[in-house]
Amino acid sequence: MPILPKKTVQAEEAYKGPIEGRLDYIRLDFGENTADFPQLYPDGLPPQSVSAYPEYGRLLDRLAAIYGISAENILLTNGSDEGLFVVAHTFIEPGVDRAVVSKPCFVVQPQSLRLAGAELIEVPVIFDTLAFDLAGIEAALADGVKVAMFATPENPTGATIESATVLDWCKRFPDTLFVLDEAYVEFAPKERNERDLLLKAACRLDNLLVLRTFSKAWAMAGLRLGIVVGKPQMLDWLRRVRSPFSVNAAAVWTALNMLEHYQSVMANAAAVYERKNALVAELRKRNYLVNDGQSNCLLLSLGCNARGASDYFQTNGVLVRNRSASIAPSPDSGPLWGKVRISAGTQKENDRFLELLDSFNRNYAVMFDLDGTLVDTTASFDATIDIMVRRYAGSPLVPGELNNLRAEGGYNDDWVATHELLRRRGVAVDLKIIAAEATEQYLKLAVDHESAYFDADLLPRTRERHPLFIVTGRTRPEYDPIWGSRLDPLFERVYCLFDVPGGKPKPAPDYLLKVKEDYKVSDGVYVGNSVDDMRAARQAGLAAIAVTTTLSEEALLDAGAQMILSSVNELKKVLCI
% helix, strand, coil for the chain, step of 5: 45, 15, 40
Q: What is the phi/psi pair of residue 170, to 5°?
A: -60, -35
pTM of this prediction? Answer: 0.90
Q: 447: burial class by Cβ within 10 Å (0-12, 13-18, 19+)?
A: exposed
Report the length, in residues, of the chain.
Answer: 577
Per-residue pLDDT of the chain (577 residues; tens, 9 = 90+): 789 999 999 999 988 888 898 888 999 899 888 888 988 888 888 888 889 999 999 999 999 999 999 999 999 999 999 999 999 999 999 999 999 999 999 999 999 999 999 999 999 999 999 999 999 999 999 999 999 999 999 999 999 999 999 999 999 999 999 999 999 999 987 776 788 999 999 999 999 999 999 999 999 999 999 999 999 999 999 999 999 999 999 999 999 999 999 999 999 999 999 999 999 999 999 999 999 999 999 999 999 999 999 999 999 999 999 999 888 887 778 999 999 999 999 999 999 999 999 999 999 999 999 999 999 999 998 999 999 999 999 999 999 999 899 889 888 889 999 999 999 999 999 999 999 999 999 899 988 999 999 999 999 999 999 999 999 999 999 999 999 999 999 999 999 999 999 999 999 999 999 999 999 999 999 999 999 999 999 999 999 999 999 999 999 999 999 999 999 999 999 999 9
Rounded to whole angstroms, how far apart are CA atoms 556 and 567? 14
Rounded to whole angstroms, how far apart are CA atoms 291 and 280? 9
Rounded to whole angstroms, how far apart are CA atoms 23 and 249? 12
Q: Among 285, 467, 451, which Cα is nearest to 381's?
A: 451
Q: What CATH number belongs to 367-372+452-574?
A: 3.40.50.1000
Q: Where are the domains of the chain?
A: 7-13+57-246, 276-358, 367-372+452-574, 376-451
Q: What is the DSSP string of 80-94?
A: HHHHHHHHHHHH--T
> What type of residue sits at position 269?
A
Which residues, including other chains, have CB under 8 Å from residue 332's CB and lie 6 or more apart?
none
Q: What CATH number belongs to 276-358?
A: 3.90.1150.10
Query: Alpha helix (H) ranges present in 299-345?
Result: 306-315
Q: What CATH number belongs to 7-13+57-246?
A: 3.40.640.10
Q: How many Å is the Cα radius of gyration of the chain? A: 32
